[in-house]
Structure 1
Amino acid sequence: KDTRVDTDWVWEAIYDIRDTQTLRLDLEQQRMRVDQWFARDAINTLFEPGCDHVAQVGCDWLARAGKRWRPFLTVCTAEALKDAGALCEADLRRVVVAVECFHKASLIHDDIEDGDTERYGEPTLHCEHDMPIALNAGDYLLGQGYHLLVENTLSSDQKAALVHIAAQGHRTLCLGQGAELAWTRSPRVLNVPEVIDIFRRKTAPAFEVALLMGEVLSTQHRDLEPILHQYSEALGIAYQIHDDLDDLLVGGAACKRILMRPSILMALAYDQADENEKALLTAAYQGKVTIEAVLPVFKALRIETQVAHLMETYKSSAIAVLTRLDNASLKGLLRRVVSKIFFDFDIMGCCNDPQT
């Protein structure tokens, strides 16, 4: 029962539909396609930064390492939903790069707001250049993102839909980050629903934007917004829970981040702690004790196991939503995306998930 397998292979087999009209996407091929679009030379060709310093800084940042899940989702969704005709490669590329522009701009601003000094194993942009230049570079990428959404050969309706999706996502992300920033001015242990709500607003919209833009790019609009919204919400929450859990498992400096922002670990622990433990958890957020003093409480309450279970619950929720999809290609794709992002599935966990 403890055997681990190549989960992509398993789900390829499950979704190996022989209907010739059902599109089978090679995820690695799409991943390579996305990576090529973010090579520095490719970005220079698209942006033409010239001698403008802020443009060069922005292009450098855009080309830096990253998982690029969001542009990957946009490409795959558009390809899965397209009809027999091919998508316009130039238009697809511009929208995909716009999605990453928005994401990379948010990272610049998040790093400033959170006081982070390192990302991707390198200095954060405001540490490398200084805060005013970093802020300007983030704003430049936002502007470039919106520019790319309208400077293409798509229809006016498609352009309007893309801008609306981006603006809605931008607004929701800011509200989520704003809630977290407000918390930092007066840190306290939040309850689980409060933490989940911040995760929902801060992380989930970026996934939703990527998926909805892929739908708009497809050759036939299918009004999948309600399903993609629920899928993105569950996926985004699971993704953020995974980040919190990863901080605990990595330990060291990463572990200290648990006390720097609203944490699902702290919320679950506080819900079950006795009075002495609650006092200790509160003192940790007040800076009176270090994270090392809190770790024994996590261990005693088996918080690591509980957080992992909560993450699995949201992953399963994302998968369950897919039962409402009629498009087999997109259904299979989104199921495989969960497996690919959370590459720790084992065969029993997969088979216990709702079938899609």
Structure 2
Amino acid sequence: MSQLKEEIFRVIDEALPVPEAAPRPELAEYARILREYPERGGKMLRGQLVVLTARAYGDDSASLPVAAALELFQNWVLIHDDIEDDSEERRGQPALHRIYPPALALNAGDALHATMWRLLVEAGGRRKIMAEFAQLVETTASGQHLDLSWVLEGRFDLTPADYFEMVERKAGYYTGVAPLRLGALAAGKMPHTSFATAGLELGVAFQIIDDVLNLEGVREVYGKEIAGDLWEGKRTLILIDYLSQAPAAERARAEEILRQPREQKSVEDVAWLHQRILASGAVARARQLAEEKAAAALAELEEALSTLPDRQAAAETLALLHKLVDRQK
């Protein structure tokens, strides 16, 4: 674990309850549930981006609590997301609601959400930082609503433009925009305008690559169930592309499979759909588009970061942004 990652985790660790200090067994279990996802590690790239961006602006003294709060945001959102999608795995282990009753997992997500705000308040509660976090939560929730509603309503009339709008809200903002803006705000500076434009494009590229890895990645490296998006019926760019070009009979069978709840899908049907999508070229086309978006966004962000006072920290920030999208199987 890098030193910066260790520092962010230390702030998180100190903010969470300790099982050994709990006054009763139920609350010891509560503490263990809250710690489950944070202690699984994760890359903490978003949190590190907050600190490095603040450092690039010349002042990272207030950035660690903000970085830790952003990582807690990631953790409680993932808990809720896993419950809503009925996911199997997270970070290479069973999803929280697969280990504990879903009601307890949901409650743990709520508790981490509250801890996120407490960290920000205890760090001084700067108005602009608090407003950015509110924007972050609201934007992500609206994207999640689109994602969930399309599955619940059985929508198959979606276009790439629909997907991009959903992903910009659900994942693009909190991955590519918020860490950079929060780093600038933590340093007491106004964020560069490219953080909102190029950062959003980079966040979209990140999610497209995640969708690609969900279908062609290696489970031990990816950290989640391969083809989980098909089990959950996710309307990804890849699926939209595949359905738009599939022969009528094949598309009808694919839609029939995707309409079924997870527990009613068969392994054979999902395997058939998985192979048909891979054979269609939709995955390769999505990866190429993601790489093009990432390259353009990184070039714009490199130019923006080059204007900041701490050149070394700016270079480290850019390197970490590259790491966001330079993901392999």
Equivalents in 2 of 1:177, 1:221: separation in Å?
30
Whether 2:271 is the aligned partner of 1:292: answer yes
Shift of 1:271: 2.6
Q: What residue is the counterpart of 1:204 in the other structure?
A: 172
Whether 2:155 is the aligned partner of 1:188: answer yes
Whether 2:158 is the aligned partner of 1:161: answer no
Q: What residue is the counterpart of 2:222 in the other structure?
A: none
Equivalents in 1 of 2:117, 2:289: separation in Å?
36
Equivalent pairs counted in the alignment come to: 303
Taking a change above 3 Å as real, the CA distance of residues 292 and 135 of structure 1, as seen in their structure-2 partners, is closer
1:179, 1:198 within 8 Å by CA — same for their partners in 2? yes
Shift of 1:136: 1.6
1:241, 1:307 within 8 Å by CA — same for their partners in 2? yes
Equivalents in 1 of 2:226, 2:321: separation in Å?
24
* Corresponding letter in the other structure for 1:108: I
Taking a change above 3 Å as real, the CA distance of residues 266 and 45 of structure 1, as seen in their structure-2 partners, is closer
Taking a change above 3 Å as real, the CA distance of residues 294 and 59 of structure 1, as seen in their structure-2 partners, is closer
Structure 1: gaps (5+ residues):
1-27, 346-356
Equivalents in 1 of 2:278, 2:96: separation in Å?
36
Q: What residue is the counterpart of 1:257 in the other structure?
A: 229
Q: What residue is the counterpart of 1:275 in the other structure?
A: 248
1:205, 1:232 within 8 Å by CA — same for their partners in 2? yes
1:266, 1:281 within 8 Å by CA — same for their partners in 2? no
Taking a change above 3 Å as real, the CA distance of residues 254 and 344 of structure 1, as seen in their structure-2 partners, is closer
Equivalents in 1 of 2:280, 2:94: separation in Å?
36
Whether 2:310 is the aligned partner of 1:343: answer no
Taking a change above 3 Å as real, the CA distance of residues 270 and 44 of structure 1, as seen in their structure-2 partners, is closer
* Cα offsets for 1:26-55 (capped at 9, x unmatched): xx9xx422234325xx64434454414434
* Cα offsets for 1:215-244 (capped at 9, x unmatched): 1111x51342x3111122112111111111
Whether 2:36 is the aligned partner of 1:67: answer no
Shift of 1:274: 3.7
Q: Which of 301, 324, 327 pairs up with 2:280?
A: 301
Taking a change above 3 Å as real, the CA distance of residues 223 and 211 of structure 1, as seen in their structure-2 partners, is closer
2:53, 2:184 within 8 Å by CA — same for their partners in 1? yes
Q: What residue is the counterpart of 1:213 in the other structure?
A: 182
Q: What residue is the counterpart of 1:20 in the other structure?
A: none
Q: What residue is the counterpart of 1:8 in the other structure?
A: none
2:15, 2:119 within 8 Å by CA — same for their partners in 1? no
Secondary structure of the structure 1 residue equivalent to 2:130: helix
1:169, 1:206 within 8 Å by CA — same for their partners in 2? yes
* Corresponding letter in the other structure for 1:257: D
* Cα offsets for 1:93-120 (capped at 9, x unmatched): 2222111111100011011101113212
Q: Give the alignment of 1:75-90 within 5 angstroms.
A: 75-82=51-58, 87-88=60-61
Q: Give the alignment of 1:1-356 within 5 angstroms.
A: 31-38=2-9, 43-47=12-16, 49=18, 50-51=21-22, 52-53=27-28, 54-82=30-58, 87-88=60-61, 91-152=62-123, 154=124, 159-189=126-156, 190-207=158-175, 208-218=177-187, 220-224=188-192, 226-250=193-217, 254-260=226-232, 261-287=234-260, 290-322=269-301, 323-325=303-305, 326-327=307-308, 329=311, 332-343=315-326
Equivalents in 1 of 2:145, 2:41: separation in Å?
26
Structure 2: gaps (5+ residues):
220-224
Taking a change above 3 Å as real, the CA distance of residues 118 and 304 of structure 1, as seen in their structure-2 partners, is closer
* TM-score for both structures, normalised by structure 2: 0.82
1:188, 1:282 within 8 Å by CA — same for their partners in 2? no
Shift of 1:259: 4.9
Worse-matched range after superposition: 285-294 or 135-144: 285-294
Shift of 1:56: 4.3
Shift of 1:256: 4.5
Secondary structure of the structure 2 residue equivalent to 1:38: helix
Which structure has the larger Rg? Answer: 1
1:43, 1:63 within 8 Å by CA — same for their partners in 2? no
Equivalents in 2 of 1:195, 1:108: separation in Å?
23
Q: What residue is the counterpart of 1:14 in the other structure?
A: none
Equivalents in 2 of 1:100, 1:265: separation in Å?
28
Shift of 1:276: 3.5
Shift of 1:160: 0.8
* TM-score for both structures, normalised by structure 1: 0.76
Secondary structure of the structure 1 residue equivalent to 2:147: helix
* Cα offsets for 1:40-99 (capped at 9, x unmatched): xx644344544144344313432222121111111111111115xxx43xx432222111
